[in-house]
Amino acid sequence: MGEGGPRMLPRRKAASCRRTAIFLVLVTFLWLQLHVPSPSSSNGSSSGATRSASQSSYGSSSSAGGALDANDAQAAAVLDMVPQVLHKFLLLRPGEGVAEAKGPLHGNGTAGNGTGEAGEDSPVATEPALNVSEIIRRIERHNDLQVVYNEETFGPVLNDTLIIVIQVKSSFNFKEGKICSKIMFSFYRALIKGCNNAPYPDLYGHYREAKFTQTKHHWWWKANRVFDQLEVTRNHTGLVLFLEEDHYVTEDFIHVLRLMERTRKASCEQCNILSLGTYLKTYNYYGDAKRAEVTPWVSSKHNMGMAFDRSTWAEIRRCAEFFCTYDDYNWDWSLQHISQPPQQGVKQNGAGGGCLGPSHRLIAMVMKGPRVFHIGEWALDVSGVHHKKNNCEPTAVIQKVQQVVKQASKHFFPSHLTLIFTGGASGGGNNNAKNGKQQKPRKGNGGWGDRRDHQLCINMTRVGR
């Protein structure tokens, strides 16, 4: 043991030297990292700005500020035309770049829990990467996918499924409710451009105003899209009900609509439009809960909560040129124009009308006790366009409607309907021609003299699936 001890000392000294050397190297390396600038430090600030810009639209440098401001303004204008509650369909999610976007809602193309809210694992929307081309691309992709959500819960869309089309405008500001049904979202693309078309004023010498012309375009587009451009409705033969976001429906509106459909098949073959709403201010549910009026369809009276099927749409679509060239920016007045009897010696786009013919005129079955109410903070004039009223409080209107509905609820879910024929609508297929007073042809309200609007409207019927 005594001889082995001295021979171990050189090894211990060597190990101690190695540890000391390694320690000095580490200390030197750390000192250099803290005090010596890296070769890329000269552009470090600019690379940081680039990373910020790739993650947020608001990460901008002074040299590119003007371009980004212009792009932000354009994108904000596009988003301003989309209701706030639908922005989540168009915004980028955290970690999702333009090239990585996979679906209209989330990165994996799913829709959360199907109730209008994000699921537990769904990313939450952040500030939008404001980019006009990306927003437009997402709109096009979303419309092309034609996803029907909640089918796994409520089953597939059948050929006789009741389809409810709800128009949601940029003024939408009501509380968003949970969506407990099968649902598909479609975005109507439109750009407002300030340009005149001098040779083509309307009947009154006025030129187009986009805020008015879009009303007719939007209705015609959504009807064409639902009946002729969606795969899920290719063979659909049931009813399509048209509502707007500020319509209030009673609990039995689907039951009543089905009852109207059965009554039409049994007792009113000439009825081709079913209307659940009315603009009357007083109602008598005790006497009218089971009554429906059969009358020639009038645009200013029967356009709320109206439903029709593919056969009626085929007749309307056949009159696309009459509808699209009639000088009236209102879709409902244009619809009435193609239904009224033709007038000799009157220009077609003035007040002539008469495309549908006497055997296919629009005859409405209208509930005397309404199942659809208008509750918006906007008042409807006779032409169907919303106008702001200073003394109209939406909460008060809703409360009034709820009070009416509560009092009438004991008369809901009728077992049958009694039809009341008025206005010469009892004459079978030739409605009004022989049995009633012929309506005086109406002159259009104007606002639809621009030939570009005519062509855009007609082209909507040429876009297939």
H helix or E strand, kind and range, residue 274: strand 273-275
Q: Is 411 annotated as a binding residue?
A: no
Q: End-to-end alpha-carbon separation of the chain, Å? A: 97
Q: In what order do the strands lie in the sheet with 418-421?
A: 163-167, 240-244, 306-308, 273-275, 363-367, 291-296, 418-421
- Distance CA(446)–CA(326), nearest Å, equals 9
Q: What's the token pair of residue 51? A: 């990373």
Q: What's the token pair of residue 81? A: 């035309």
CB 451 within 8 A of CB 459: no
Query: CB-based contacts of 311: which residues, under 8 Å, 6+ apart?
Result: 272
Neighbours of 142 (CB within 10 A): 19
Q: Is 246 annotated as a binding residue?
A: yes
- Distance CA(460)–CA(223), nearest Å, equals 10
CB 462 within 8 A of CB 228: no
Closest CA to 53 of 61, 41, 62, 45: 61
Write the DSSP assignment of 340-380 as a string of letters.
SPP-TTS-IIIII--SS-GGG--EEEEESS-SEEE--SEEE
- Distance CA(311)–CA(360), nearest Å, equals 10
Q: Is 410 annotated as a binding residue?
A: no
Write the DSSP assignment of 392-447 as a string of letters.
--HHHHHHHHHHHHHHHGGG-S-S--EEEE-TTTTSGGGTTTTTSPPPPPPPP-BS
H helices of 109-150, where?
132-145
Strand 273-275 to 363-367 pairing: parallel
Q: Is 216 annotated as a binding residue?
A: yes
Closest CA to 114 of 164, 187, 185: 185
Long-range contacts of 130-134 (CB under 8 A, 24+ apart): 130/57, 130/71, 130/72, 130/75, 130/76, 130/79, 131/57, 131/71, 131/75, 131/98, 132/71, 132/74, 132/75, 132/78, 134/92, 134/98, 134/101
Q: What's the token pair of residue 173? A: 């500001």
Q: Strand (E) positions, 278-357?
A: 291-296, 306-308
Q: Is 386 annotated as a binding residue?
A: no
Q: Is 374 annotated as a binding residue?
A: yes
Q: Is 215 annotated as a binding residue?
A: yes
Annotated binding site: which residue ranges? 214-218, 246, 374
Q: Which residues are annotated as a binding site for substrate?
A: 214-218
**Annotation: binding site for Mn(2+):** 246, 374
